[in-house]
């Protein structure tokens, strides 16, 4: 892909929910840092990528907050409504990159019936193994959330990656694990300053600045390694890293044009 083509990839961060959390609750072993507790505004997002050829890629999908009260999330604009406002029909989405299989990242995956679905093989094997063994109780996903992944696999639309992979021109995924065994970060080459969408490899800016792990992980050392990897990748590629859930991102980037500005931010 040429720089001119890459330059026309736009990235919109789309907020669909929110809640307020405490630092002591979201950062692993926060008390050991000797810092005061305080609130953090936590946004729930997915990301919309538009390419010059008209193709549309989503990174994650959000979920229907009204279907289940997981952690006290508050709905802002449900994914189907925000997509409609932005002029995107789910059946026209070409690809969905799933950072991992937690409910808030794949809950609406079934909407995208024609999309190629990208996931880490480690993520697929971990969650499908739990599903097949009847071990999903108490986890941050359900069989209903995983079924669209299985359907994509049956239909030949599931692309499983084992390492760094350019899944379409200008969009590269990097498995890091930690939060989930197959946690992916996504690097987008916009033609100007690249952008790394960290998703849940780094929920908040504090994790990027101080390398603080999140409280929820399947492997603590992998999470620490993932945070260090984000820092190295950003330095090596000159990228801007966008954490997955930090509400302060909306203050660092401009609002999207038109009605979408009420819930979407233009990252690039």
- Where residue 203 sits, what CATH number does that domain have? 3.60.15.10
| Pairwise CA distance, residues 91 & 112, whole Å | 5
Provide the residue range defining the domain that includes 76. Answer: 3-266
pLDDT category of residue 68 using cuts at 50, 70 and 90: confident
Average the pLDDT over 101-116 and give the result.
98
Q: What is the largest CA-CA distance in the chain?
A: 52
> Closest Cα to residue 115, out of 141, 138, 88, 142?
88
How many CB atoms neighbour CB 68 within 10 A? Answer: 12
- Residue 148, CB half-sphere, CA atoms under 13 Å: how many? 26
Give tens-digit pLDDT for 90-106: 999 999 999 999 999 99
Q: Looking at the predicted structure, is the pLDDT value of residue 1 above 90?
A: no
Give tens-digit pLDDT for 36-61: 999 999 999 999 999 989 999 999 99
Torsion angle of C-alpha atoms 71, 229, 127, 42, degrees rounded to 10: 10
Q: How many domains does the chain have?
A: 1
């Amino acid at each position: 892909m040429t720089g001119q083509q890459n330059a026309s990839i736009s990235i919109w961060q789309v907020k669909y929910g929110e809640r307020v959390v405490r630092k002591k609750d979201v950062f692993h072993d926060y008390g050991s840092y000797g810092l005061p507790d305080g609130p953090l505004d936590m946004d729930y997002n997915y990301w919309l990528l538009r390419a010059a050829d008209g193709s549309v890629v989503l990174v994650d999908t959000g979920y229907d907050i009204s279907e289940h009260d997981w952690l006290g999330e508050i709905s802002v604009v449900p994914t189907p409504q925000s997509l409609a406002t932005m002029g995107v029909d789910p059946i026209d989405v070409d690809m969905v990159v799933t950072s991992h299989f937690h409910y808030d990242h794949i809950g609406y995956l079934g909407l995208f019936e024609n999309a190629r679905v990208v996931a880490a093989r480690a993520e697929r094997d971990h969650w499908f193994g739990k599903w097949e063994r009847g071990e999903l109780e108490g986890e941050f996903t359900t069989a209903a959330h995983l079924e669209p992944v299985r359907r994509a696999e049956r239909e030949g639309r599931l692309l499983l990656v084992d390492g760094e992979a350019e899944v379409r021109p200008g969009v590269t995924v990097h498995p890091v694990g930690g939060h989930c065994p197959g946690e992916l970060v996504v690097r987008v080459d916009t033609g100007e300053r690249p952008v790394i969408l960290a998703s849940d490899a780094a929920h908040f800016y504090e994790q990027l600045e101080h390398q603080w792990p999140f409280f929820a992980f399947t492997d603590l050392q992998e999470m620490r390694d993932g945070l260090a990897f984000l820092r190295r990748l950003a330095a090596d590629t000159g990228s801007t890293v966008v954490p997955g859930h930090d509400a302060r991102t909306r203050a660092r980037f401009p609002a999207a044009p038109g009605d979408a500005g009420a819930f979407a931010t233009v990252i690039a």
